[in-house]
A = this chain, B = another copy of it.
Amino acid sequence: MSTKTKILDAAEVLFADKGFNGTSLREITSQAEVNLAAVNYHFGSKKELIKAVMSRYMNELSPRLESALNALCLEEVKPTLIEVFSAFLEPLLHLNSFKDNGTSTFLQLLGRGYTDSQGFLRWFLTTQYPGVFTKFTQAVQKAYPELNKEEMFWRLHFTMGTIVFTMSSSDALIDIAQNDFDRQVDIAGVIKQVIPYVAAGVAAPIVR
């Protein structure tokens, strides 16, 4: 396994767990069992390493997600919101076959990126992977055309928040479900719980 990969693998776990600010290059390189200088040699800086970690996931996720959303947009029949949100399920769970715990790690990273580092990751994702966002809003628009652009903006942001926040603490949630309710849940279980919630939220009566 190459040094570059060892660094990426160690970094993504630590970043997901402790945030970007909260993780030092020293922790990453000692976890990866490579030399400290290797990060700067292979990636140039910590910021570039963060981008590389996210890109590895986004390059795996975005084509699948875009085509799933595109299929909904091209269909004759109007999709339900549940169907729109369910379109995320397969592409997200596919990350688990790409890497151990990939789905959970990626979603946690996404959550970190939205709160750490004052929106730099938001900028990175929206500029580097704009297709996902436009396809998604198109699909929601088709499912629920009564919603105007502004209302959709708010509700999609709330949805993003729900998903990202839930996933950043999914490990704790899975533990609580286990201890308090004696219920075995995995990341797919959490996603399936959250879909009806966000679908109902987006479909809430419009207040004007």
Contact = CB atoms under 8 A, between A and B. Distances in A.
Contacts of A183: 150
A196 B200 contact: no
Given A183-B150, A193-B154, A119 B161 contact: no
A207 B201 contact: no
A contact residues, range:
35 or more
A127 to B, nearest CB: 15
Contact of A204 (B119, B158, B199): B199
A133 interface: no
Contact of A115 (B149, B168, B194, B205): B168
A140 to B, nearest CB: 14
Contacts of A155: 197
B165 A153 contact: no
Interface string A5-19: 000000000000111
A118 interface: yes
A111 B118 contact: no
Interface of A: 17-19, 21-22, 111-112, 114-116, 118-119, 149-150, 153-155, 157-158, 160-162, 164-166, 168-169, 172-173, 176-177, 180-181, 183, 192-194, 196-205, 207
